[in-house]
Chains A and B, each alone.
Chain A
Amino acid sequence: MDWNCTLTEERLSDVLDHTLSPRDSASFLAHASQCKRCARLVAQVGGIVSELRQLPWVEEPPFLSSKIIARTREIPRLAWSPAIWQTRFAMGIVTVAATFLIVFHAVGSGTPEKFQLSPASLYRDANRRIHLTYARGVRFVNDLRVVYEIESRLSSQPPAPGPRPHSDARPKPETAPPADRAFRRELASLETQNETPRSIP
């Protein structure tokens, strides 16, 4: 490779950091031995870089660390709350806790009687309890669903007008409008669905 003065400037850091390939390094040396300008440039910049690296660090003002520590002490520790408490993890934690709760409840804490100690009866008992607990859980969730359904339907209704200034306003008749009636029918069907007994194996 033909080395020239422009290349020396462009690749000066490679020359100083010794990151030139052996071939480029040979080309550079061949050029620098002939070119006073390049030899001087490398010596000058190399000298500056070496001085910079040997410069002692400037001493910080006294008590700077202490001041920093004192200032950060005023910030509540909440700043360090780990990622585990973020919403996306919180849902996972709640789900795992609920699962354990169901399993513990299903297994029960009482001491089994003698005739129940055979593996088959232990399995049957645990299986029955798990299904029972699951069924209760489903029922609870369904109840919640109904409540939520009612709440969301009510909130989607147009807002009721504010109280009138006059007290002679008559109370409205009890008959519900057609849309409201359909909603009540749907609600009743949901409730009866919820009431139907579940078969427990």
Chain B
Amino acid sequence: MEPDAQLVRLCVRGDGPSWEELVRRHTRRVYNLCYRFTGNAATAEDLSQEVFIRVYRTLASYQSTEGAFTTWLTCVTRNLLVDHYRRTRRERLTDSIDQMPQFQDRPSQVRLPDTLAQASELSAQVQQALGKLSPELREAVILRDLQGLDYQEIQVVLQVPEGTVKSRINRGRLELARILEEMGVRPV
């Protein structure tokens, strides 16, 4: 498998198949970040498309010497999520609590085996709890515990000092645990 940086180099030289490979390789990561942050499948789909269009336009500006492609991609995604959050803030404020968007996982038509069903249920509960966190804490927890970025990468993505990153992750985890406990969710 070609490393990302090599694919990017080929893309910039105009190689279409390399671009397709890059998109297929990272769609799920981008979609998950958008979905976990917005809690809405349709919005996450639209945002994922916007992310890749922005990536396509700015691909030549990516420098492999400055970090991994996934970190750069996460930066682009996060910036777009922030833009989206600001854009939709007014709409959210006018929504009543009853009309709050439901944080739903993709409904499944088939009956899932028990472990998968449990994972799916937990996934939905986590999504609901994430939606109750402030955006700052939410993105920190998503990047660290769902996307698996390390502290240094998160620092690059969020453009805040290391101490702030640590503090946000810490508060985010505590808050999330408290919300899940209120929802009656306990870790196995």
Q: Which of B23, B41, B170 contacts A61 (CB 8 A)?
A: B41
Bound CA span A60–B33, Å: 11
Q: Give the interface size bracket for A toward B.
A: 35 or more
- Neighbouring B residues of A75 by C-beta, 8 Å: 53, 56-57
* Residue contact B174 to A81, C-beta cutoff 8 Å: no
- Neighbouring A residues of B123 by C-beta, 8 Å: 55-56, 58
Q: Which of A46, A64, A77 contacts B45 (CB 8 A)?
A: A64
Contact with A along B118-135 (1 / 0, CB 8 A): 010011001000000000
Other than the given A10-B170, A52-B146, A55-B126, 20 more pairs (CB < 8 A) read: A11-B170, A12-B170, A16-B173, A44-B177, A45-B177, A48-B173, A48-B176, A49-B145, A51-B122, A52-B126, A52-B141, A52-B145, A58-B32, A59-B28, A71-B52, A72-B53, A75-B53, A80-B13, A80-B60, A83-B60
* Residue contact A65 to B27, C-beta cutoff 8 Å: yes
Query: Binding site of B, secondary structure by majority: helix, strand, loop or mixed?
Result: helix
- Neighbouring A residues of B14 by C-beta, 8 Å: 77, 80
- Neighbouring B residues of A83 by C-beta, 8 Å: 60
* Residue contact A60 to B174, C-beta cutoff 8 Å: no
Q: Give the interface size bracket for B toward A.
A: 35 or more
The interface-forming segment of B71-79, B87-95, B180-188 is B180-188
Interface flag for B4 (CB, 8 Å): no
Residues on B close to A: CB < 8 A?
Answer: 11-14, 19-20, 23-24, 27-29, 31-32, 35-36, 41, 45, 48-49, 52-53, 56-57, 59-60, 105-106, 119, 122-123, 126, 141, 145-146, 148, 166, 169-170, 173-174, 176-177, 180-181, 186-188
* Residue contact A80 to B59, C-beta cutoff 8 Å: yes
Residues on A close to B: CB < 8 A?
Answer: 9-14, 16, 44-61, 64-65, 67-69, 71-72, 75, 77, 79-83
* Residue contact A80 to B45, C-beta cutoff 8 Å: no
- Neighbouring A residues of B119 by C-beta, 8 Å: 54-56
Ordered by A's residue number, 28 sampled pairs between the chains whose C-beta atoms are within 8 Å are A11-B170, A13-B166, A13-B170, A14-B166, A16-B173, A44-B186, A44-B187, A48-B180, A49-B145, A49-B173, A52-B126, A53-B146, A55-B126, A55-B146, A57-B28, A59-B28, A61-B31, A64-B27, A64-B48, A68-B48, A68-B49, A71-B49, A71-B52, A72-B23, A75-B57, A80-B13, A80-B59, A82-B12
